[in-house]
Structure 1
């Protein structure tokens, strides 16, 4: 794929704000007619620049208003331990994001639950039972200022 130009970046910015906008609305916002706009969007999708579309859920409405960012260090970082740990945490329904980091901690997890009691239950009955866990440090979100 060729380099992104000003119009491609405008399309991406608009779709990042509202992926449900119609092609006609999108075209008008970026200064194109519908057909060339649609061709550009399809090209961006085919090239993998647009990796997908998803709904942003309201954590209060879904009963998961308590968000905790969890810093995790694992005891060993060999390939097998790392894969097993990543597979296990990715399978937990409460974990909505997993990031492997350079340096310490080894991972950041975004955990969304109903309340602190639910978080304690998750930590005590799920997370700490993973054999690779060495250290857990929890940071409760007070307010989300900006989210992708």
Structure 2
């Protein structure tokens, strides 16, 4: 079992109480990958929600012209794979380790059971996810506007 205090450092889990962290700690799996190792490709089935404990993950997508485009590089505390779980679909991007990386995996089935069994925990989880995703969207919008203005 993962130490609940290690989970507290995750963006998605930082506002959760000890009880909620304890429930999540029981289902989390620790995964280690080496630099260059691919976690998933476009069209792969999802294994679950990924939380970065240490290291960096590059999320990329194949563009229409055949070039692979980096969407984002995520570091410690960030998460990914959430859309494949929430939308119940395959991955639409590739996730690859930019350096040796330690991850926490919340397996898809365990995540679904957890949120179905505990409405308060589900609400906290999804609220944290919405806040983090909204923050990322605002940051991307600011960058986009900055590029447009300087162009």
TM-score by length of 1: 0.23
Larger strand proportion, structure 1 or 2?
A: 2
TM-score, with normalisation over the residues of structure 2? 0.22
Q: Radius of gyration: which is bigger?
A: 1
